[in-house]
Amino acid sequence: MSILFSNKKIELKTREMKFGTLDGLVLGEEGRCRKELFLPSKYKIKKGINENIGIGKTKTGKPRIVEDYSDDIYLIIDTKYAYTRVYNGYIYVSNKETFELIDSATGADGEAGSIGHWSVYLLKVTDASKDLLVQICYSGTKNSERSILLIQNKNITEFENIKGFKEWLEAGNKIGIEIPNEDWDEEDPLKNVCRKGWRLDVYDDYKNKWYSIF
């Protein structure tokens, strides 16, 4: 049984295509220094675990939501939360080699994203034999308000913030990742355990240049 975890509920939307209408999920935004991603789908996505749902490919190689009975684990992580003037939206992971970035989408505040960006990540877990952490840095939120995903095989636990994750561990729960004491610093939480992610590039066709966001 495959699973797809999403940190947000995603409703179906209908698009007019050359051949007719097509239902799917819309991620990110259109516009300068933004990237919208449309995923054909028959299924709306609930927040949390969606069983027997995965991410496949269209005939042109683009991602789509499919019925999937394999043992794969997929994630859709949307980092949009609030106005991005102070903090962009992105993610860090504990072991980048165990994730495949299938695709991404981007939204922004301000002209050409001049104020800030947030991203949506489509990920596949390529190795779930060891515990994994995903640190979600939501746009417009403080470092201490980052949420945590704990992936233990097909058990995925979401913690609303760093404090909740620490209290869970202090209650006697164990994970297969050693977290040094200095990683509980509110200014830079989990700085040693989770400090790898994906630098995403967006194109400003008006200025004819690429921008990197993280």
- Per-residue pLDDT at 203 exceeds 70: no
Both structure tokens of 52:
């027997």
| Distance (Å) of CA 178 to CA 42, 94, 126, 145, 206 | 41, 11, 21, 21, 47
CA–CA gap between residue 188 and residue 36 (Å, rounded)? 30
The pLDDT-based confidence of 213 (bands split at 50, 70, 90) is: low
pLDDT at 140: 85
Quote the mean pLDDT of the chain: 90
User: In which element (H, E) is residue 187 found?
Assistant: none
CA–CA gap between residue 41 and residue 64 (Å, rounded)? 6
Asked whether the beta carbons of 72 and 124 are under 8 A apart, the reply is yes
CA–CA gap between residue 74 and residue 5 (Å, rounded)? 6
Single out the residue of 147, 52, 153 nearest to residue 98, CA to CA: 153
pLDDT at 109: 84
- Report the pLDDT averaged over residues 92-116: 88
How, if at all, do strands 73-78 and 3-6 pair?
parallel
Asked whether the beta carbons of 90 and 62 are under 8 A apart, the reply is no
The pLDDT-based confidence of 201 (bands split at 50, 70, 90) is: low
DSSP letters along 73-119, please? EEEEEE---S-TTS--BEEEES-GGGEEEEEEEEEEESGGGSSEEEE
